[in-house]
């Protein structure tokens, strides 16, 4: 997989123009004018795209049309689908990496400007919560991490992940015409099977979040049966759920755009206007009997939603209403 081009590269500009008009033609003269270069130079840049697997149709007096584009993860296509942003987004696309979260943390430590996203075709040490492994084969699923320097109090991290979760559910719902659920605090589900997980990690200095890495694994196009047997029962991909593969690069760009917008709304406080509505729409646990492992103590009860800090509210089987900042929840078979 080629590395990403800088956002201003002529290839991205050409691709963006062709994608905006995917069923029509874009004149070579118009491209040359936009890029302030000769038509021969435009053709040479298109040659570079051809080397990546793009094919074009050229019709005299009409121009170029994008005939086919790579279906696997392709950084140029993702960038071209992303509208240009301010501040510009850094984009690191790797064929393989240990963990996109670890790569983002390394790049932050090396002084990479924020925001940036690390996306990989596969991970050799993908991590989930509680030190679990996140299976990350090169199977059409998405593994990506976003890096920010938000300067917020650490207490806001819990709500951050929930806010990202509901935004991702909303995006998945509109992109695939489905109804996912968000299981507190970080699982995106269809029925009871996991389609995505989030892992937010931070470096905290003097009571401020300095570096924030938001990692996201989304089972997108993995075919049924491609995950290890023990996980397959509990996991599902969007393609499996909808019975058709997604346009991976278009979807990746939509995910990236949504996370960046959601981040800005979170930092500005604007998220408060819509958070409760989105939460209520996607809350998978609400009203259900749950078991929660809190330290070593199992708690049973009915999930009642979250409070303003993002803690889970449970009416326990001892008749008390309790709030939990952390823990692992399962649906309970035990009547409460
Ligand atoms: C969980 O459900 O426990 C969280 C899973 C998070 C997985 C993603 S994949 C991209 C990023 N890199 C990692 O190593 N983990 C996160």
User: What is the gyration radius of the CA atoms in the chain, in angstroms?
Assistant: 22
Ligand 1 atom closest to Cα of residue 136: 9
Four-residue CA torsion sign, 137, 70, 180, 102: positive
Q: What is the pLDDT along the chain (336 residues), one digit of tens a residue?
A: 544 444 569 999 999 999 999 889 999 999 999 999 999 999 999 999 999 999 999 999 999 999 999 999 999 999 999 988 888 899 999 999 999 999 999 999 999 999 999 999 999 999 999 999 999 999 999 999 999 999 999 988 889 999 999 999 999 999 999 999 999 999 999 989 999 999 999 999 988 999 999 999 999 999 988 888 888 889 999 999 999 999 999 999 999 999 999 999 999 999 999 999 999 999 999 999 999 987 778 899 999 999 999 999 999 999 999 999 988 899 987 555
Q: Quick one: which of 147, 117, 143 has its CA closest to 213? A: 147
**Residue 200 Cβ < 6 Å to ligand 1:** no
Query: Across 149-272, where does the E strand assignment appear?
Result: 181-183, 187-190, 193-205, 208-218
CB 182 within 8 A of CB 166: yes
Ligand 1 atom closest to Cα of residue 125: 14
Which tokens is 166 given? Answer: 């509901």
Q: Quick one: which of 38, 283, 34, 316 has its CA closest to 169? A: 283
Distance 87 CA to ligand 1 centre (A): 26
Ligand 1 atom closest to Cα of residue 100: 12
CB 119 within 8 A of CB 92: yes
Query: DSSP assignment, residue 270?
Result: G
Question: Which pLDDT value is given to residue 56?
Answer: 96
pTM of the model: 0.94
Which tokens is 151 given? Answer: 């300067």
């Amino acid at each position: 997989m080629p590395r990403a081009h800088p956002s201003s590269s002529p290839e991205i500009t050409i691709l963006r123009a062709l994608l905006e008009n995917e069923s029509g033609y874009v004149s070579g003269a118009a491209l040359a004018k936009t890029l302030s270069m000769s038509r021969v130079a435009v053709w040479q840049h298109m040659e570079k795209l051809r080397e990546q697997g793009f094919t074009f149709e050229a019709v005299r007096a009409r121009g170029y049309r994008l005939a086919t584009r790579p279906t696997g993860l392709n950084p140029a296509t993702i960038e071209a689908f992303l509208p240009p942003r301010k501040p510009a987004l850094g984009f690191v696309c790797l064929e393989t990496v240990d963990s996109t979260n670890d790569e983002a943390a390394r790049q932050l430590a090396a002084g990479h400007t924020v925001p940036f996203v690390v996306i990989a075709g596969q991970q050799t040490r993908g991590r989930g919560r509680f030190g679990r492994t996140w299976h990350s084969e090169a199977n059409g699923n998405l593994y990506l991490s976003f890096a920010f320097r938000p300067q917020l109090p650490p207490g806001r991290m819990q709500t951050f992940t929930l806010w990202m979760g509901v935004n991702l559910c909303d995006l998945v719902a509109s992109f695939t015409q489905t109804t996912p659920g968000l299981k507190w605090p970080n699982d995106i589900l269809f029925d009871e099977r996991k389609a995505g997980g989030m892992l937010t990690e931070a470096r905290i200095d003097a009571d401020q979040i300095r570096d924030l890495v938001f990692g996201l694994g989304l089972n997108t196009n993995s075919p049924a049966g491609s995950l290890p047997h023990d996980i397959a029962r509990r996991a599902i991909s969007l393609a499996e759920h909808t019975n058709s593969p997604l346009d991976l690069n278009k979807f990746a760009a939509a995910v990236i755009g949504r996370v960046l917008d959601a981040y800005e709304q979170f930092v500005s406080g604007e998220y408060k206007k819509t958070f409760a509505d989105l939460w209520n729409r996607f809350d998978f646990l609400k009203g259900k009997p749950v078991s929660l492992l809190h330290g070593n103590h199992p708690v049973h009860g009915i999930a009642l939603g979250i409070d303003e800090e993002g803690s889970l509210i449970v009416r326990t089987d001892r008749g008390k209403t309790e709030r939990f900042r952390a823990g692992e929840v399962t649906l309970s078979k035990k009547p409460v």
